Amino acid sequence: MRDATPVFDHDFRSDAKAIAVPYGVHDLGANRGHIFVGTSHDTPQYAVASVTRWWKADGCLRYPDSSRVLVLADNGGSNGSRCRAWKYELEKMLADPHRLEITVCHYPSGASKWNPIEHQLFSQINIIPHEVMPAWNYTIAPSARKM
């Protein structure tokens, strides 16, 4: 008779070594996506840092003459329409340093299912099970299929 592998029957954040926080930027014009995974919390600073990283790595190269950026965002969490820190960080980290006019349009509450990032970017992530305890150990990787 084999002994059962001890497992936790609940996930407690206090027991976690880190929390994976995905944030995606989907460039609709170029049909390219970027996923940033942090290990802290979903904060306005993290959300804006992700958008700023996209701008520095790809956006400014792809759109060198652009003086404006349109951001389509869900209406909750770190980038909600009522979140003043999100607006402040956008100005501080993206608009002012890069001389960009930023327009943010929020999806209505409960309408994030129509956000293209959910279907075209996050759906492309594969979960690769590990050989040891594949139900609990896995790697998240982009799929081989081009977007």
Q: Rg of the chain's alpha carbons, rounded to an integer?
A: 18
Degrees, nearest 5: CA angle 68-69-75:
140
Q: Which DSSP string do the residues of 95-120 spell out, in sequence order?
A: IHHHT-EEEEEEPPTT-GGG-HHHHH
Cα(54)–Cα(59) distance, integer angstroms? 6
| pTM check: above 0.75 | no
Q: Tens of pLDDT along 92-137?
A: 999 999 999 999 988 887 776 777 776 666 666 665 666 655 555 5
- Reduced to 3 states, what is the DSSP secondary structure of residue 66? coil
Q: Tens of pLDDT along 23-47?
A: 888 888 888 888 888 877 788 999 9
pLDDT tier, 147 (very low <50, low <70, confident <90, very high otherwise): very low
Q: Which DSSP string do the residues of 3-57 spell out, in sequence order?
A: PPPP--SS--GGG-S---EEEEEEETTTTEEEEEEESS---HHHHHHHHHHHIII
Q: Tens of pLDDT along 46-96?
A: 999 999 999 999 999 999 999 999 998 888 788 888 889 999 999 999 999
Do residues 46 and 23 touch, judged by C-beta distance below 8 A? yes
Do residues 50 and 25 touch, judged by C-beta distance below 8 A? yes
